[in-house]
Chain A
């Protein structure tokens, strides 16, 4: 903006407008989009993993069922934050280790040298010569995988419970009508499952939103990083000197999250009303009353 060329000469409202629109702040605002992007990308993956886990667990083929059970019980009893710290590092090392074995087989020294993890240069992921954005994207991708694995296990628990909650008589009726296995599943079991899964999934969604500040721990410049960066005291050498304002930045984050929670709760309440229409539950009967 034209008036922001000399920030030292500004005062009052103009100073604030220029301060809040400077390039650093634009990155701060972009990081909110990063958070929403993370949630937006992770949520569908979580749903897919959840279905895969639940179906594997219900499978009659025992190795598959074992995998399903192992996956869904993995997250029990261990703090999630341990997973978030562990999965990205472990995955990173696994990828680099595999690339090292494949790309430079001529190196004979072990990868784990005492306390060091050394791979040859061309096995680095991403390469040292790669541009900065590739490093950031790689970190972001690892974070998504960590989130998806942990939340997928929880979604699998929820979906498994919902699939069990569908009244048996409904499935037996479908059988009596001569429906095949897949017909029963897609026409009767799946559509009726949602109403039982929705409370758990909506809870998971709110939790997913609340988990996003953990991105900061994974070294991604997310909203927490920027709030600390921008809020810290700025001396006279900076364009916009100000005292320690971190309190206000964190207050803004707090309000952002409360707002997101509120929106989600409202949206899920509407969705619940929508899927309970015509269901054999008390809420379903209420929805019918409303429709009349």
Chain B
């Protein structure tokens, strides 16, 4: 079978398009590259959505943690401690069991022209259940970063804004928020990379890969099992992840440049790659 044929059959296998049977015999290098690359779509999906939604929750949590009101501060502190203090792996298992025992109900949402039924059974599927766990998890980690940055916003800047007669909201929107984001961005880049790496845990925890539609590591371990040779599939995963990591650094680097564009080069926030392990 030619490599282009393999590409047609398996490039979108991870989202259920193309050949149903996974390659079983005569597994070549091309099969491994294509199928593992197809699995990478899941990693990108989980990481992109979790980071996007996580940004807003993290912002809210960071502000709550900075609040003088204990009713706001304490719950935020607890949330961050629970999600940062326990392994993501266990969180996945726990969440899956929790979602499984939820009563099976459907909620109808009338949209006028059509009705969407939201069923709780979707929560036991990886695409929603695992996404929720990752979203909450990255929110906690990001909140910690934003909280630190919020506390490092120079006092003088805020006082200057007060002297200009800005009210609380416009002070936040024009001074505190942009400065916080600029200060937090290098660490936030590391967090995005870290989360991207953590998406490999999804199909190794409670969430089952429905119809063998899994992520990059899921297919890599499939190949390692079928060929008894871990020396090909795992380095392929590593290669894909290094490439994706460079991609994340590039995209976040562009934003970082935008955030720092008003500053002299010597005062700009620099990104330092600080790889982290295990969440």
Contact = CB atoms under 8 A, between A and B. Distances in A.
B115 interface: no
Nearest to B237: A82
Contacts, number: 120
B64 interface: no
9 contacts: A89-B224, A117-B229, A214-B89, A244-B100, A247-B97, A247-B101, A250-B97, A253-B93, A258-B85
A184 B276 CA distance: 32
A77 B82 CA distance: 27
A31 B108 CA distance: 46
B273 A76 contact: yes
B242 interface: yes
A77 B243 CA distance: 9
A238 to B, nearest CB: 20
A216 B205 CA distance: 10
A75 B193 CA distance: 13
A81 B90 contact: no
Contacts of A81: 197, 200-201, 204, 217
Interface residues of B toward A: which range? 35 or more
Contact of B90 (A75, A204, A224): A224
Nearest to A251: B94
A150 B97 contact: no
B90 A115 contact: no
A262 B201 CA distance: 24
A265 B273 CA distance: 25
Contacts of A210: 86-88, 278-279
Nearest to A116: B228
Contact of B89 (A75, A76, A213): A213
Given A90-B230, A115-B229, A78 B238 contact: yes
B204 A82 contact: no
Nearest to A88: B230
B234 interface: yes
Nearest to A231: B97
Interface in A94-126: 112, 115-117
B275 interface: yes
Contact of B93 (A116, A214, A224, A262): A224
Contacts of B90: 213, 224, 250, 253-254, 257
B98 interface: yes
Interface string B85-119: 11111110110011011000000000000000000
B187 interface: no
Contacts of B245: 77
B122 interface: no
Dominant SS among interface residues on chain A: helix
B81 interface: yes
Interface centre among A79, A115, A224 (most CB of B within 10 A): A79
B104 to A, nearest CB: 15
Given A89-B224, A210-B278, A247-B101, A79 B197 contact: yes
A82 B97 contact: no
A50 to B, nearest CB: 13
Contacts of B88: 210
Contact of A213 (B87, B198, B224, B229): B87
A244 B86 CA distance: 23
A208 to B, nearest CB: 8
Contacts of B241: 77-79, 82
A76 B93 contact: no
Contacts of A214: 89, 278
A190 to B, nearest CB: 24
Given A80-B197, A81-B217, A244-B101, A115 B228 contact: yes
A70 interface: no
Contact of A78 (B89, B97, B101, B242): B242
